[in-house]
Amino acid sequence: MSKNKTLLANLQQRFGDKLSKTIDALGEITVEINAADIIEVCIALRDEFQFSMLIDLCGVDYSQYGESNWQPEASSTGFSRALNSTLMQAKTDNSQRFAVVYHLLSTANNQRLRLRAWMNESPPRMATVNPIWNSANWYEREAFDLFGILFNDHPDLRRILTDYGFNGHPFCKDFPLTGDVQMRYDAQQGRVVYEPNEVEQRVQIPRVIR
């Protein structure tokens, strides 16, 4: 993949210290930047590196990255028994918790690039790339809806996937899989009512890292 190496070298030459980390793995290039540089870097990527398409944009919550429900006893080669089961706790401090991941595509050069921008604020804030690639509009709404990432200057930052009047940001790692509320039709009131969830959250298959 010399094409990737060339791109990586060009990116490093163009952006220098703005790239806090570069990864070249599995035939894909990932570059990491700080949230403050996002607009400048994206405009350059579009205009100078011909990344004409924003294929995907998503939020990632890294607060439980590398955690598992129980620690395996022995090596990575054999199987071992579960010793302790622990419920995972989300990190409380928000530094380096949320990132926005951009997947760019250049149809002219037939090349892809992954861009990861970290946020340190609480709530997480990021500048919108909607003016640079118009496809970002709904992707950013989705990231806001699911992770609570606020996109500054976004033209229409509303919830998109969750219910009208939904509370919380469901894809954060500290949001329970079963949700907070359940709904049913109440015959007396003649409408659908929301009630606190009675479903107990349990771990069916423990998460384990070998």
Partner 1 sequence: MSEIRNYTLNFGPQHPAAHGVLRLILEMDGEVIERADPHIGLLHRATEKLAEHKTFNQALPYMDRLDYVSMMCNEHAYVMAIEKMLGIQVPIRAQYIRVLFDEITRILNHLMWIGTHGLDVGAMTLFLYAFREREDLMDCYEAVSGARMHAAYYRVGGVYRDLPDSMPHYKPSQWHNAQQVKENNANRQGSLLDFIDDFCRRFPTYVDEYETLLTDNRIWKQRLVGIGVVSPERAQQLGFTGPMLRGSGIAWDLRKKQPYEVYADMDFDIPIGKNGDSYDRYLVRMAEMRESCKIMKQCVDWLKVNNGAVMVDDLKVAPPKRQAVKEDMEALIHHFKLFTEGYCVPESEFYAAVEHPKGEFGIYLVSDGANKPYRLKIRAPGFAHLAAMDEMTRGHMLSDVVTVIGTQDIVFGEIDR
Contact between 137 and partner 1 by CB under 8 A: the answer reads yes
Token reading at 182: 């359940």
Q: What angle do CA 73, 78, 84 make, to 5 degrees?
A: 20
Contact between 73 and partner 1 by CB under 8 A: the answer reads no
Instruction: Give phi and psi for 195, each to the nearest 5.
Output: -135, 160
Q: Which of 138, 150, 168, 197 binds partner 1 (CB under 8 A)?
A: 138
Q: Which of 24, 162, 174, 197 binds partner 1 (CB under 8 A)?
A: 162
Contact between 199 and partner 1 by CB under 8 A: the answer reads no
Q: Is the CB of 36 or the CB of 86 nearer to partner 1?
A: 86
Max CA distance (Å), the chain: 69
Contact between 48 and partner 1 by CB under 8 A: the answer reads no
Rounded Cα distance between 162 and 167, Å, is 9
Contact between 163 and partner 1 by CB under 8 A: the answer reads yes
Residue-wise burial string across 41-57, b where 16 or more C-beta atoms lie within 10 A, e elsewhere: bbebbbeebebeebeeb
CA atoms within 13 A on the CB side of 208: 18
First and final CA of the chain: distance in angstroms?
A: 30
Q: Which of 16, 17, 25, 92 binds partner 1 (CB under 8 A)?
A: 25
Q: Which of 1, 21, 28, 96 binds partner 1 (CB under 8 A)?
A: 28
Rounded Cα distance between 124 and 3, Å, is 34
For residue 24, give the nearest of 45, 48, 1 by alpha carbon: 1
Contact between 22 and partner 1 by CB under 8 A: the answer reads no
Contact between 194 and partner 1 by CB under 8 A: the answer reads no
Name the β-bridge partners of 58. 101
Q: Is the CB of 128 or the CB of 137 nearer to partner 1?
A: 137
Q: Is the CB of 16 or the CB of 27 nearer to partner 1?
A: 27
> Cβ distance 156 to 137 under 8 Å?
yes
Total residues interacting with partner 1, rule: CB under 8 A: 45
Q: Which of 34, 68, 94, 120 binds partner 1 (CB under 8 A)?
A: 68
Contact between 181 and partner 1 by CB under 8 A: the answer reads no
Residues in contact with partner 1 by CB under 8 A are: 25-26, 28, 30, 52-56, 58, 60-61, 64-66, 68, 76, 79, 101, 103, 107, 110, 112, 114, 133-135, 137-139, 159-163, 170-171, 177, 204-210
